[in-house]
Homo-oligomer: A and B are copies of this chain.
Amino acid sequence: MSSRPSTSQKKLLLRALQGERLPRPPIWLMRQAGRYLPEYRAVRAKANGFLELCYTPELAAEVTLQPLRRYALDAAILFADLPLVADALGQKLDYREGEGPVLEPIRSSGELQRLSQVRLHERLAPVYETVGLLARRLPPEVTLIGFAGAPWTLATYMVEGGGSADHAFTKRWAFGDPDGFQQLIDLLVEAISAYLSRQVEAGAEAVQLFDSWAGVLPEPAFRRWCIEPVTAIVKHLRTKHPQLPIIGFPRGAGLLYAGYAGATGVDAVSLDSTVPLGWATTAVQCDGCVQGNLDPQMLVVGGRAMATETARILRQLAGGPHIFNLGHGIVPQTPPEHVAALVEQVRTWQA
């Protein structure tokens, strides 16, 4: 549990997550710790590979804190990567330069025996330690966000064996053998719930569930593989941590953003860059806080184009609880000074 219950009540980000409309929205940015920062690349070069960076608490905490030293952000998000849970379940994970995560794919229920929850927390212990370090080191006004991939999205990495353009193997398994695929999803619901719960016990004050590939499924599949598992995780988490603020991010869900918070029980919904905000105010913000949706490429472009788009988002979402963020993670080509300009614009904005 967080050791700072009294101050945390006043943090801007937690107030927005509780549904409060604020004079200016709190701001943090997905992948705010990352390759666009030279100080990140320096730490990354010291670690023996990306996995070691994630699993070495001092290094992971350091890169989490780096953007906070440059920018007056309202939150820090734990530095880790979505496929770590697969690794902790026993699926061999590797990172190759320029390729992203590579896993030995699991494509049928017969192969599920390769996975086990027995060593989950042992393997993920360094992540919990990173959270603990961050809880002690963060400035008191900054909220510490933990995170995990949602079951569907994590499953796509586990089944495809890494990133994928069409998620073909995952879809075919889910469509053709839903009972078998359900076993994988159930296992992930349990593991992710336990993982997030431990992050909260180590000091995370809010968590975000990244369903980055929610936007590739037909409606019935979306309901079964995105809505239901996230609902189950929220229920698990709330049993242990009734007040925990939870952010859901069904990226690319389009129409299915409507009702997502109500169905799953999350407190806030992160909007990707394609969601029309006029619609979102009536269909999503009505259920609670929204977060997003500046296109990360706008942060590469900067200047007047970025300022105009930022002003539009601020204006359109000003009528309800809002956390300023991107529609997806910061890309490596982003000039750090554009991030500074964005943070300044949001912090000095007045509704």
- Residues of B close to A215: CB separation below 8 A: 252, 274
- Is there an interface contact between B295 and A218, defined as CB atoms closer than 8 Å? yes
Q: A255-B254, A255-B255, A255-B275 are in contact. Are A168 and B218 (CB under 8 A)?
A: no
Instruction: Confirm or deny: A38 has a beta carbon within 8 angstroms of a beta carbon on chain B.
Output: no
Tell me the smallest distance from the CB of A26 to a CB of chain B, in Å: 21
Instruction: Confirm or deny: A297 has a beta carbon within 8 angstroms of a beta carbon on chain B.
Output: yes
The listed residue (B176, B293, B300) touching A172 by CB distance below 8 A is: B300
A165–B165 alpha-carbon span in the complex (Å): 8
- Number of identical monomers bound together in the oligomeric complex: 2
- Is there an interface contact between A172 and B297, defined as CB atoms closer than 8 Å? yes
Instruction: Confirm or deny: A110 has a beta carbon within 8 angstroms of a beta carbon on chain B.
Output: no
- Is there an interface contact between A218 and B309, defined as CB atoms closer than 8 Å? yes
**Which residues of A260-319 have CB atoms within 8 Å of chain B's CB atoms?**
273-279, 293, 295, 297-298, 300-301, 303, 305, 309, 312
- Residues of B close to A274: CB separation below 8 A: 215-219, 222, 252, 254, 256
Interface residues of A (CB under 8 A from B): 165-166, 168, 171-172, 175-176, 178, 215-222, 252-256, 273-279, 293, 295, 297-298, 300-301, 303, 305, 309, 312, 327, 331, 333
- Residues of B close to A252: CB separation below 8 A: 215, 252, 254, 274
Q: A165-B165, A175-B295 are in contact. Are A218 and B305 (CB under 8 A)?
A: no
- Residues of B close to A217: CB separation below 8 A: 273-274
Tell me the smallest distance from the CB of A15 to a CB of chain B, in Å: 27
The residue in chain B whose Cβ has the minimal distance to the Cβ of A176 is B301
The residue in chain B whose Cβ has the minimal distance to the Cβ of A167 is B297
